[in-house]
Structure 1
Amino acid sequence: MVSALYQLIPDERKRSKAVATRKIPAGTEFVFHPLVTVVNAEESVCENCLLFGEGSLRCSRCKQVRYCSAECQAESWTKGMHKHWCKKQRPDFPSDLKLLLRLALALKQGGPLAETFDELIAAQDMLSPIHQVQFEHNAKIIHAILPHWSEADLITIQAKNLRNSFTVTDGRLFDIGSGVYPLASRHLNHSCYPNCGVSFRGPQMMVKTLVELKEGDELCINYCDPIVPLKRRRKALEDQYAFKCTCEACTGGGWFETSRQGRKTADEIDVNAEEALNAIFRSSISEQILLVLGTDPDNIIQARQKVFTTLNIPPIFLNISVLSLATSRSSSLRTSANWSESASYGLYVLAYYLLIYPPAYALVGLHASDLAITMWNAGGWEGMEYIIYAGILRSSDQVLLLLGLCVPPNIGGRELSAARQFAPSFCGLTLNDNLYHKHHISPELVLDSRSAYLDFTEPIKLPM
């Protein structure tokens, strides 16, 4: 038994899986600690808390890492790993060598997380020639610094890290580093339609349920972006994680078959992305999709089926190259304050996301928040546009509150406050607004009150 909420059970295909032992509400949070982390080249990220801070302090000995405060610097030295690698890490080390050095030192120190890392799968026989050469090169360098580690063992460590490391992100999902979270790797399998989302609070990994889980449901996160087409997604998973995905989004029937076939057909079309977007804009199909999805926020799968049975969606709508162009255009136009045109591209991107991503998916909430701000600046919305705008805004608020990401501040104006109360969510997540008003409490407090903060520090022994 892992906790009162889920347990690990053996699985013939996946080795093991985490299944709910009872109903788990949406927004329930699980905390996983890192064995090691490494920040990227961003100088304003604190080495200890992995948060951004001004006036960073630099380590006076190695002069390679920064801290946001004297307290973080002291904690990194006394409780963290910095004193073990301070003089061993060379200034020219790239991130992968830094992580390997820290991993080797942490494994030498031992402890529950190190024991769990030893249990992880390396699948060295499936390493690509490029990885094999790179790992051998790295092993020689670290072996010269830590001679008690053999080059063969260092290659094994890198193979395990390849299969199990996580990208650490900030509240807007920007990469700030990478980390090894052995218990999360051991407990949580992949799905291209996950029911749990990953975010980070400093170096701690926060895993939250995106929807309510029933007893017996498996808890899954995604190892790669579900928006990537099936063939490319499967290849990426096999190359890095050494398995062939058989989740419902890849093999299931019903809506998943409709989605899979629609995307396959779209990506086989030799399309001019610019012309395709112009055709999509002329048809107003994005706005129609958002309106249909907004009519049934409690059952997003049913709403998606309704989209494909009631609307004449052109095959080019789901083409990935068209989506890539629209995403780029929306962002660049928003940066240059061309609000109306940016909103047109952003509406298409949001409609595409809501047809593919799981309910309450982080990227949907972040894009919806950017789009709500863009539409607010564009102004002039009324009627159907107002309904769409209000739904986008509330969807953004709900998803980001659920996941604990950066919720945009109140942009201002009575119209905006009304919009936040007005329309249904488009993201398949409905919170009880009447509860907030009745008890005069904020949505944040409601979410916190039903979150279970479970702190995993001990490895789990599975039955043989």
Structure 2
Amino acid sequence: MAPRLERFVSPGKGNGLRATASIRRGELVYSTEPLACCVSNRLARDVCHHCFTRRETLLRCSHCKMARYCNISCQKQAWSGHKRECKCLRSLLPRIPTDSVRLAARLIFALLSTSKGSSEELYTLEEHESHLSSMPEQKKQGLSQLASMLDLYLQQEVLGLAQEMTSALPPSCQEPLSLIAKVTCNCFTISDGELQEIGVGLYPSLSLLNHDCRPNCVMVFEGTKLQLRAVRDINPEEELTISYIETLSLTEDRRRQLEDQYHFMCHCQHCDSQDKDELMLSGDEASWSLLKEALPRLEGQKAESDWQALLESCSHLLSTIGANVPDDNLYKLRITDVALDASIHLGLWEEAVKYGERTLPVYRQYYPDPHPVHGVQLMRIGKLQHYLERIEDALDTFKQAYQIIKLTHGDSHPLTTDLLMKMEECRAEMDQQSSIARRHLSRTP
């Protein structure tokens, strides 16, 4: 365990993690592999189930027909963790259990494995909160259904292993409902370098991190490895915090999501001051209310990948109602972002860069600290500018992205390496253009 953090009792929050020494922003505080993880069902065909790399073509497990791998090497390395899961998946075909059920089962298999030692000494699975006692009855019923699915899923594999499970699992995890509740409350969404969700995982010690809507640390992933990095200078004995949710929302909405999902009311400084709410709701209320009401319909079109209709809807809203609302308004920003996504999917690069550039000043206001979301947005816009041969603009945007990404992802992360390569490409192209221009001038009489 790195000596830079330690467990402590955080006033009003319970368990937490704090720094044992000064930490500079951008420094790697902690790095760990998951105790258990799985690729999300919706991306099961697109992501390697061992290294979590996206690929266009993947080898498929010939038995369960679900797990996919980059190559034979990934498949062999994954087999020790997949062999029990494979049997369970085959027993349910063509049904596929939910991500949380598969993760809970993988956790059991990891704990049953004699080769899986407990390297997570800060926080044991037994100590993880299930929050069942404070959970609304409706949510508890939903978890009960998942627990029943877990029982059914495990039926084939754990037959005759009851004794082994009793000795390997903590008492509070032997009951399916409690285990499912612990998993859903404490798992982390695993994302790729561009912050797109690819899976879920359990990282027990980092479950000690408490939430803040303006945290001093961020988490990024390299494959399944979770890296905790500081985004502000942190003093010895200062608590380390992360955000459990996407923070670009109104205080009321953030608090509701945190209470529904994690069972606490947030009283961080950002929430208690509600310092960005007025800006997020700037402009004519009658107009932005219509934008807010349109969002569920737009999200539905996005879920159906109806990109043409989606872009037409966004374009109409932004050119009519949106004209009365400043770009800072939260709902206008969301619709502009949706228009950006739709334009990219349709290959309309001029449209995409127009929408993307409108979001950048707003992102700068809402993400005052180095934040992966801001860095990735800059990188996306830089790639569009580069494709459209706006080389100087692209280099400037890439430089802004690099100032963020080098702190949030670190120098060795693949996204940082990709960004440095893009910057070098821009410089080389600018040098080539200058060289051509000089030769042209030298030939002019």
TM-score bracket for the superposition, by shorter chain length: 0.7 to 0.9
Please point out which of 354, 361, 382 is paired with 2:364. Answer: 354
Contact 1:194 1:358 in 2 (8 A): no
User: Equivalent residues in 2 for 1:277-356 (5 A)?
Assistant: 277=318, 316-336=326-346, 338-356=348-366
Cross-structure match for 1:247: 268
- Separation (CA, whole Å) in 1 of partners of 2:206 and 2:66: 29
Task: Name the aligned partner's letter for residue 37 of structure 1.
Answer: C
Cα deviation code 1:151-203 (max 9, x no counterpart): 981111111112111111112222111111111112x2111112222121112
**1:269·1:316 contact (CA, 8 Å) conserved in 2?**
no
* Relative contact order higher in (CA < 8 Å, ≥ 6 apart): 1
Distance 1:374 1:121 in 2: 45
Alpha-carbon distance, 1:50 to partner:
1.5
Q: 1:38 maps to what in 2?
A: 38
1:206 matched to 2:227? The reply is yes
Q: Is the 8 A contact 2:48 2:55 kept in 1?
A: yes
Shift of residue 334, structure 1, vs aligned partner: 4.1
- The partner residue of 1:398 within 386, 398, 403 is 403
Distance 2:229 2:12 in 1: 25
* Structure 2 match to 1:226: 247
C-alpha distance in structure 2 between counterparts of 1:268 and 1:243, whole Å = 30
Matched, 1:182 2:204: yes
Would the aligned equivalents of 1:226 and 1:357 in 2 still touch at CA under 8 Å? no
Q: Determine the C-alpha separation between the residues in 2 that align with 1:25 and 1:332.
A: 39
- 1:62-461 to structure 2, matched below 5 A, reads 62-78=64-80, 81-89=81-89, 90-91=92-93, 92-94=95-97, 95-109=99-113, 111-112=117-118, 113=120, 116-144=124-152, 145=155, 146=158, 148=162, 153-186=175-208, 188-252=209-273, 257-264=274-281, 270-271=287-288, 272-273=290-291, 277=318, 316-336=326-346, 338-378=348-388, 391-402=396-407, 403=409, 404=413, 406=415, 407-408=418-419, 409-410=421-422, 412-414=425-427
- Relative distance call for 1:133 and 1:374 in structure 2 (3 A) is same
Cα distance change, pair 267–93 in 1 and its aligned pair in 2 (3 A):
farther
Q: Tell me the SS of whatever aligns to 1:410.
A: helix
Of Structure 1 and Structure 2, the greater helix share is in: 2
Q: Kindly indicate whether the alpha-carbon contact (under 8 Å) linking 2:395 and 2:426 is maintained by their aligned counterparts in 1.
A: no
Unaligned residue ranges in structure 1 (runs of 5+): 283-313, 419-464
Write the distance in 2 (CA, Å) between the matches of 1:329 and 1:181.
Answer: 35
Letter in 2 for 1:397: Y
Q: Deviation at 1:119?
A: 0.8
State the AA in 2 paired with 1:195.
Answer: N
The size of the alignment, in residue pairs, is 374
Contact (CA 8 Å) 1:6, 1:18: kept in 2 or not? yes
Residues 355 and 53 of structure 1: CA distance in aligned 2, closer, same or farther (over 3 Å): same
Q: Distance in 2 between matches of 1:417 and 1:280?
A: 41
Alpha-carbon RMSD across the aligned residues, in angstroms, is: 3.3
Number of the residue aligned with 2:2: 3
Distance of aligned partners of 1:280 and 1:32 in 2 relative to their CA distance in 1, 3 Å threshold? farther
Q: Which amino acid aligns with 1:198?
A: M
Deviations 1:298-355, CA, capped at 9 Å, x for gaps: xxxxxxxxxxxxxxxx974432221111111223334445444433322331122111
SS at match of 1:93: coil
Report SS of the residue matched to 1:184. Answer: helix
- Residue by residue over 1:407-463, the C-alpha shift from the partner in whole angstroms, topping out at 9 and shown as x without a partner, is 344274549769xxxxxxxxxxxxxxxxxxxxxxxxxxxxxxxxxxxxxxxxxxxxx
2:333 partner amino acid: L
Residue 87 of structure 2 aligns to a residue whose secondary structure is coil
Specify the code of the residue in structure 1 equivalent to 2:126. D
Contact 1:169 1:199 in 2 (8 A): yes
C-alpha spacing 1:123/1:261, structure 2 compared with 1 (3 Å) = same
Instruction: Supply the AA of the counterpart residue of 1:372.
Output: G
- C-alpha distance in structure 1 between counterparts of 2:109 and 2:250, whole Å: 39
Cα shift at 1:396: 0.9
Equivalent residues of 1:166, 1:179 under 8 A apart:
yes
CA distance in 1, matches of 2:275, 2:149: 50
Q: TM-score, normalised by structure 1?
A: 0.71
Shift of 1:370: 1.5
Work out whether residues 143 and 151 of structure 1, in 8 Å CA contact, stay in contact via their aligned partners in 2: no
Shift of 1:204: 1.3
Distance 2:234 2:357 in 1: 30
* Distance in 2 (alpha carbons) for counterparts of 1:174 and 1:137: 28
The answer to which of 391-400 and 218-227 deviates more is 391-400
Residues 100 and 183 of structure 2 are in contact (CA less than 8 Å); yes or no, is this contact kept in structure 1?
Answer: no
* Residue identity (%): 25
